[in-house]
Amino acid sequence: MNWTRRHLLGLEDLSAEEINVILDTAESFREVSTRKKKKVPTLTGKVVVMMFVEPSTRTLTSFSLAARRLSADVVSFARGGSSILKGETLLDTAKNIQALGIDVIVLRHPAPGTPHLLARNLDASIVNAGDGSHEHPTQGLLDIFTIRDKKKQIEGLTVAIVGDIKYSRVARSNIWGLKKLGARVVVVAPATLIPPGIEELGVEVCYDLDKIIPECDVINILRIQLERQKSGLFPSIREYTKVFGLNAERLAHAKEGLLIMHPGPMNRGIEITPEVADGPHSVVLDQVTNGLAVRMAVLYLVSGARG
Amino acid sequence: MGTTLVADGRTICPDQGIDRKLNVLLSDGRVAELTESRPAADKVINASGKIVSPGLIDMHVHLREPGKENEETIASGSAAAVAGGFPSVACMSNTDPAVDNEASSEFVFLQAERAGLANIYPVGSVPKGRRGEELAEIGQLSRSGTVAFSDDGSPVSSADIMRRGLEYTKMFGKAIIEHCEDLALSGDGVMNEGTLSTILGLPGIPAASESGAVARDIILAELTGGKLHIAHVSTAGAVELIRTAKRQRLSVTAEATPHHFTLTDQCVKAYDPVYKMKPPLRTQADVDAVREGLRDGTIDAIASDHAPHSTEEKQLEFSLAPFGVIGMESLLPVAVTELIDRVLDWPELIAKLTCNPARILGIDKGTLRPGADADVTIIDPHLTWTIDANRFRSKSRNCPFHGKQVRGRAIQTIVGGKTKYRLHPNADY
Ligand SMILES: [Zn+2]
Ligand SMILES: [Zn+2]
């Protein structure tokens, strides 16, 4: 299959076939990381801008390293050093950056739809590195890559996504990707953190973590934002941990090959206990490693589509 | 000034129950007679094949002056009004400063007079400055020509102020035009709450935010006997509540906008803020309910809720861009295209743009009765064209119907006997 997309705005738009192209490409890039000289000349002469309007050390580091391993020139444009706060609009800023002759903008922004705004108005390729509560496609892809790597397939698996479904871009990207590849997806959260109409995305809603655990092949635990409690969406952190936190006791009835994932950063002792986070089911560090290969694949494919 | 004969048109005056081929004689700024004969006149306008309507009224617009003259002024808004076929518009009080005293309403009249194009009727705020506990000087405002009271842009959140407002305005026979929204339920919402807001990750405004507020205000209208007009109805729930209130013969009226009877939340899919407004675009079921409300008379009037915003602001991130769309120059063609022969016939449509809003605002407009002001809108019902916001008289461009193929257009707008707008016969639409 030929890759034709210049942008990666979300997994909603992609077909199963396209997702597999990214995963297969990531597979071949993963090998690069095991070499002594961890670099390929694929994007020599290309310029990739990291435009992080919302801070995120992990994602920024992962994307920057991915671009450098492909031999691209990398420019970082983080929040503090930009003019974004000085009254210039996002679009102005992006147009100015584009005028420097760049090829790809990797955008992290707190407002949903900002990658679409740039894609509509600029010639550069836009890669969404997380836009508010909308999508975080490379996180979804690296989660799916990790599952495929361990389980050899996605179809037929039961994946529970637990936590702040309402505000989570990670949940949305996982749901789109996993459903397209044939998984059964169950979202588990307090009713106040389940957004309306989520069932129409093809997922099941469950309020009882203990009931669903024995059926799961994968549990993806989301970070609970502590400000949700302050805005009255659940009564207390203690209650959240009691009802929806993952601990060793709860895993007594889990399947043997259960994978436990977390997109990080973790609130240890809140949504997940340290013994589970570091325990035998956890693939949290594999996720980080695979993230690099997936981001290399994405940068490579969108740059290629630009010609 | 002399006499003008608007000849051979299909003359529709729902106020008088007239819909037939008649000649309309205008004399010295007033309607002289409607007649089958052909009286002599200084000037004859051939309206053959056209619809001759009482001057249309857009009862809900925002003209931004004073405060945001870069987006619209009373002059540019007047030009947009007559280009859209409206000799008369009522402008909301949420300017800076707000229209909450005689001086500020006089300013609107003065600027309208300087522009010299359209009749601009100010709507005053309910509490002073659109906030707080003290009622605006509603009596003096009424005497100086303010036609209704509203904090539109926001609701009158306090039930107590709403109650006192309805009691107090009742003395002057004025309506409170309410922007029905429960701000706590809307929260930081920027679009309709539903599956699409979930997919897009945008905070939603539930339908209950509107219907809950409508229910409260209807109950207060019943309590006070005050005159309540519900602005921009967008939900099926609100339509049903208003229908029930009307059955109970309460003094409740309502309006709908072209965007709410035409577009759904699916428009927001690409995060284009040109589709961001309050209340937000709802679902197809809501659009259908609003249309049914128009059809069965639950909804009395069609208004644009013309809300100009600068292009810079409307190119911001969706969640940061301001709410509101412009509509004076697209209202009539969109209404004709979407409603005629499907929801309303011509007299029904014209009633919602003439005598009905005139009755709600208590103004002597919207009719071709002999003696009435010679405000006439001549409409070409067949003209097909494409809406191009770049050619609007309005200063702003935030029109969700830009690029839409439409049918019907005001080709001549007569205000007080004088032509204030005429579409060039060779216009390349
Ligand atoms: Zn309003
Ligand atoms: Zn309004």
Q: Do domains B3-52+372-384+404-422 and B55-361 have the same CATH topology?
A: no
Catalytic residue among A4, A34, A36, A86: A86
Cβ-Cβ contacts under 8 Å, B198 against chain A: 166, 195-198, 201
The Cα–Cα gap between A114 and A91 comes to 9
The Cα–Cα gap between B95 and B63 comes to 8
Residue A224 CA to ligand 2 centre (angstroms) = 38
Query: In this model, does residue B340 exceed pLDDT 70?
Result: yes
Percent over 90 (pLDDT), chain B? 96
**In sequence order, what are the residues at sequence separation of 6 or more whose Cβ sits closer than 8 angstroms to the Cβ of residue B404?**
B330, B334, B337, B386, B387
Q: A195 and B316 in contact by Cβ < 8 A?
A: no
Model pTM above 0.80 = yes
The Cα–Cα gap between A17 and B137 comes to 67
- The per-residue pLDDT for A55 is 86
d(CA B194, nearest CA chain A) in Å: 5
Task: Give Cα A63 to chain centroid, integer Å.
Answer: 12
Give the burial string for B400-417 (b: 16+ CB within 10 Å, else e): bbbebebbbbbbbbbbbb
Chain B residue with Cα closest to A89: B316
Task: Name which residue leads in pLDDT, B429 or B114.
Answer: B114
Written out in words, the top-level CATH class of the domain with range B55-361 is: alpha beta
Q: Half-sphere exposure (CA, 13 Å, Cβ side) for B5?
A: 16
Dihedral Cα A128, A132, A133, A139, nearest 10 deg: 40
Residue among A111, A116, A195 minimizing CB distance to B319: A111
Burial class (CB in 10 A: 0-12, 13-18, 19+), A147: buried
Catalytic residue among A7, A136, A166, A180: A136
Judge whether A116 counts as a catalytic residue: no
Cβ-Cβ contacts under 8 Å, A114 against chain B: 271, 317
- For B77-102, write each residue's pLDDT tens digit: 999 999 999 999 999 999 999 999 99
Whole-number Cα distances in Å, B381 to A19, A152, B284: 51, 65, 27
The Cα–Cα gap between A292 and B74 comes to 58
**A223 secondary structure, DSSP code:** P
Residue among A89, A120, A169 minimizing CB distance to B201: A169
Sheet containing A158-162: order of strands: A204-206, A184-188, A158-162, A218-221, A259-261
Whole-number Cα distances in Å, A92 to B273, B312, B390: 17, 10, 22
Whole-number Cα distances in Å, B64 to A211, B108, B111, B280: 57, 11, 12, 21
Judge whether A262 counts as a catalytic residue: no
Residue among B194, B202, B316 minimizing CB distance to A197: B194
Pairing status of strand B148-149 against strand B175-178:
parallel
Enumerate domains of chain A plus CATH numbers: 16-134+288-306 (3.40.50.1370), 137-287 (3.40.50.1370)
Cβ-Cβ contacts under 8 Å, B322 against chain A: none
Dihedral Cα B397, B398, B403, B406, nearest 10 deg: -100
Give the end-to-end CA distance of chain B in Å, rounded to a whole number: 32
- The per-residue pLDDT for A34 is 84
Q: Which CATH architecture has domain B3-52+372-384+404-422?
A: Roll (2.30)
Burial class (CB in 10 A: 0-12, 13-18, 19+), B321: buried
- For B126-174, write each residue's pLDDT tens digit: 998 888 789 999 999 999 999 999 999 999 999 999 999 999 999 999 9
pLDDT band at residue A81 using 50, 70 and 90 as cut-offs: very low
Q: A117 and B315 in contact by Cβ < 8 A?
A: yes
Burial class (CB in 10 A: 0-12, 13-18, 19+), A154: buried
Q: Which of B192, B197, B199, B272 to mutate to test the interface with A (most CBs of A within 10 A)?
A: B199
- Provide the residue ranges of all domains of chain B, joining segments of one domain with +: 3-52+372-384+404-422, 55-361
**Whole-complex ipTM:** 0.94
- For B236-264, write each residue's pLDDT tens digit: 999 999 999 999 999 999 999 999 999 99
**In sequence order, what are the residues at sequence separation of 6 or more whose Cβ sits closer than 8 angstroms to the Cβ of residue A266?**
A223, A272, A277, A284
Q: What is the 3-state secondary structure (H, E, C) of B169-205?
A: HHCCCCEEEECCCCHHHHCCCCEECCHHHHHHCCCEE
Query: In this model, does residue A87 exceed pLDDT 90?
Result: no
Yes or no: say if A276 and A219 are a contact pair by the CB < 8 Å rule: no
The Cα–Cα gap between B374 and B146 comes to 21
Q: What H or E segment, with its residue span, contains residue B262? A: none
